[in-house]
Amino acid sequence: MYHLYIVRCADGSLYTGITQNVKKRISEHNSSDLGAKYTKPRRPVKLVYTRRCKNRSTASRVEACIK
């Protein structure tokens, strides 16, 4: 199961991604070198939306539509 997620960064901007583990990914965005290049200088991030998707392909298509 994949999840599409949207986080709000400290500067008010939004970042969209996909993952299999939302809690772990948000933690990475906030406190790890594994966070996205975009979110690192905009910490902390806060989860504002999630959507379950049946597979990676579907999650990627939904992400592309949102972007």
Per-domain boundaries in the chain? 2-66
Label residue 60 by pLDDT band (50, 70, 90). Answer: very high
Cβ-Cβ contacts under 8 Å for 46 (sequence gap 6 or more): 7, 8
Cβ-Cβ contacts under 8 Å for 25 (sequence gap 6 or more): 5, 17, 19
Q: What is the pTM of this model?
A: 0.93
**What are the tens digits of pLDDT across the range 11-51?**
999 999 999 999 999 999 999 989 999 999 999 999 999 99
The pLDDT of residue 18 is 97
Residues 63, 18 contacting (CB under 8 angstroms): yes
The pLDDT of residue 43 is 97
